[in-house]
Amino acid sequence: MHRGSVKLIAAGGMRSGADVAKSLALGADAVSIGTAALIAIGDNDPAYEDDYRALGSAAGYWDDFQAGNDPAGITTQDPELASRLDPEIGGRRLANYLRVLTQETQIIARACGKSHVHNLEPEDLAALTVEAAAMARVPLAGTTWIPGVS
For the chain, domain boundaries: 47-84
Model's pTM, two decimal places?
A: 0.82
What tens digit of pLDDT does each residue of 49-101 get? 999 999 999 999 998 988 999 999 999 999 999 999 999 999 999 999 999 99
SS (H, E, C) the chain: CCCCCCCCEEECCCCCHHHHHHHHHCCCCEEECCHHHHHHHCCCCHHHHHHHHHCCCCCCCCCCHHHCCCCCCCCCCCHHHHCCCCHHHHHHHHHHHHHHHHHHHHHHHHHCCCCCHHHCCHHHCCECCHHHHHHHCCCECCCCCCCCCC
What tens digit of pLDDT does each residue of 7-58 get? 899 999 999 999 999 999 999 999 999 999 999 999 999 999 999 999 999 9
